[in-house]
Structure 1
Amino acid sequence: MIVNDSLLYLSCPPRNKGRWAGLWGISYGGLLKLVTGSILTVYVVFCLDDMMVLMDKKYPPRFLYPKEWQHLTMFILLTLNGCVDVMSRNLLPQRCVLLEKGSLVLTFYVLLLLLISHVQDTTGIELQIHYLLILVVFLLMLVLTIELWTPDTFQLLLIEAFLFLMMGSWLMQAGFILYRPVTGYPWQDDDISDIMFVTTFFCWHVMINALCLLGIYGLSALWHRCHCPSLKLMGSKEAPYHKGTVGPLYKLLQEVEQSEKDEQALLLSKSSS
């Protein structure tokens, strides 16, 4: 972003630039989603003794393992989103950013529905953790939906990165709180101080992730200013197909400048005559 907005959506390099040139065009994010989602899907299927049975054989039949099936659905969504990213970046003739954004938005819509249903039978610490996670997912869903119409807005992209950081760090924190507490003692659902400290930890995550994002931005800006002053020109040449739209304010400024030039030329002609 510091260098050039066009660096956000680099096109795949031509295949005749060398044996290893094609590696730069691989969608590493899509591959990571695809591999991680596939591994987690297999793990959920095989972690149970009876291999994710949908319904029991009793009468009347009942659905089994509702949370595990929801986890499986989430991981399948992650895998499919990775497939869309890889297809858009490496298989289609021209990268379709709108397709990638739309797939990601749809994933978060479904994820939000699953998380709301996921907390139906939870209480105490687990409920508070999931409520805070739902808040982050909801905000991400709103930001990603708005980006479908304004994909190049710097502020939205910055908020998106921050919310993804929040989602990832809070999921790791939730795993330690629920399954492997640092103290070795489980958190108590009937202790109001434990529930309050869950929210306090979430606020600490907000501050730490904001500082992390600020530090990355500051170091990148310093590195670009000191060592890579010509990278902006290179970036604009690497992605000629992606051009930011000219805003109405910029057009208005151009019109004002042109009118001022016309007035000055008219005054000069009158004075000379």
Structure 2
Amino acid sequence: MPTSFLGSALRGTFFLIFGLWWSVRYPLKYLRRKVSAESQPSYGVQRAEFFEGAVKVFFALAGILVEQFIPTGPHLHLYSSNTHSWTDLTPWHFSTMYLFFLLSGIVDIVSHSPLKLPLGLDRLSLSMALFIEGLLFCFHANSNAALDHHLHSLLVMAIFAGALSALLEVFIRDHIILETFKTSSFLLQGSWLWQIGFVLSPPWGGPGWDQTDLSNITFLTMCFCWHYVVALAILAANSAASRCCNESCQLKFGDIDVELDCGVCIHKGNKSSSRALLRESTLDDK
């Protein structure tokens, strides 16, 4: 089954949503850690990661259902006894990819439940899902054309970069450099999947780009680098906007801090003010 533009765009949107969300959340979390001496993750961080897991589960389930039950899909049939051959392995490839992201989302949710899974298991499950995705795309080619192989080889580079950064986060948690690198890899994956859709199956119809023209390979290699430059520009813009938002909120509310992971304002001086009131009441009693 050839790659469809809609399927490639939907997969790209999945990674773009997480990349854009992280490009805002991680800088805000970093700014909050700079002004907070708390070593334990705040309630807002836990809610944000629980929400991420739920969104991941939703998208993964939707992806599996779409891949399996579209009119041309395999409908959970893997082998045909009539033709004695495999049936539509491409949807099964993508269903397998979504399956591991589904497991990653479930681990994210359970990690913030009363079960209290070991710290870092959520990052490990995400790294495993990305490694599986990279493995599947290493051997995913709809034809023997060089351009098809080259497009997916570039995609695999972005996938394994994200998998490596997620694996390092198992041991070095809440490191802004690793989080930024992982975010950039997700943005690159998402935009490049859209690019693959435009190259192999243009939405306006037609056979796609010339698979035998070597100049297309040269151009797309440069285009891959441009995609990464755009991802870095998005990261820089969202980081600058997060910093401006943080500073303006502090100027506006004074001693009111911002729970940056969920946008809720909280009072930094609750403990100190309560202690002051307690001391005053004690003196009055005397």
Matching residue of 2:17: none
Question: Does 2:35 match 1:3?
Answer: no
Matching residue of 2:270: none
Counterpart of 1:39 (choices 52, 58, 62) is 62
Matching residue of 2:185: 163
Matching residue of 1:70: 93
CA separation of 1:185/1:113 partners in 2, compared to 1, >3 Å: closer, same or farther? closer
Matching residue of 2:158: 136
CA separation of 1:25/1:68 partners in 2, compared to 1, >3 Å: closer, same or farther? closer
| Aligned counterparts, 1:96-107, within 5 A | 97-107=119-129
Matching residue of 2:51: 28
Measured after TM superposition, the shift of residue 182 of structure 1 is 6.5
Runs of 4+ in 1 over 4 A off after TM superposition: 5-9, 93-97, 181-185, 229-235
Query: Which structure has the larger Rg over C-alpha atoms?
Result: 1
Q: Provide, for residues 61-116 of structure 1, a one-character-per-residue CA deviation record: whole Å limited to 9, x for no partner.
A: 33222222111101111222112212222x33547541211111111221122111
Question: Does 2:246 match 1:214?
Answer: no
**What SS does the corresponding residue of 2:31 show, helix, strand or coil?**
coil
Matching residue of 1:57: 81
Distance in 2 separating the partners of 1:8 and 1:220? 22
Measured after TM superposition, the shift of residue 222 of structure 1 is 2.0
Q: Count residues with an aligned counterpart.
A: 227
**What SS does the corresponding residue of 2:202 show, helix, strand or coil?**
coil
Measured after TM superposition, the shift of residue 147 of structure 1 is 1.4
CA contact (8 A) 1:52 1:65 kept: no
Q: Which runs of 5+ in 1 are unaligned?
A: 14-21, 239-273
Q: Which runs of 5+ in 2 are unaligned?
A: 1-29, 261-265, 267-286
CA contact (8 A) 2:73 2:91 kept: no
Distance in 2 separating the partners of 1:178 and 1:8? 47
Counterpart of 1:194 (choices 192, 216, 223) is 216
CA contact (8 A) 1:11 1:95 kept: no
Distance in 1 separating the partners of 2:123 and 2:138? 23
Distance in 1 separating the partners of 2:82 and 2:205? 42
Distance in 1 separating the partners of 2:156 and 2:48? 34
Distance in 1 separating the partners of 2:63 and 2:127? 21
CA separation of 1:185/1:206 partners in 2, compared to 1, >3 Å: closer, same or farther? same
Measured after TM superposition, the shift of residue 11 of structure 1 is 2.9
Distance in 2 separating the partners of 1:8 and 1:178? 47
**What SS does the corresponding residue of 2:79 show, helix, strand or coil?**
coil
Matching residue of 1:108: 130
Q: Which amino acid aligns with 2:64?
A: T
Sequence identity percentage = 22
- Give the TM-score taking structure 1 as reference length: 0.71
**What SS does the corresponding residue of 2:210 show, helix, strand or coil?**
coil
Q: Which amino acid aligns with 1:3?
A: R
- Give the TM-score taking structure 2 as reference length: 0.68
Measured after TM superposition, the shift of residue 150 of structure 1 is 0.8
Distance in 2 separating the partners of 1:173 and 1:218? 27
Distance in 1 separating the partners of 2:243 and 2:221? 33
The alignment's C-alpha RMSD in Å is 3.3
Distance in 2 separating the partners of 1:33 and 1:123? 33
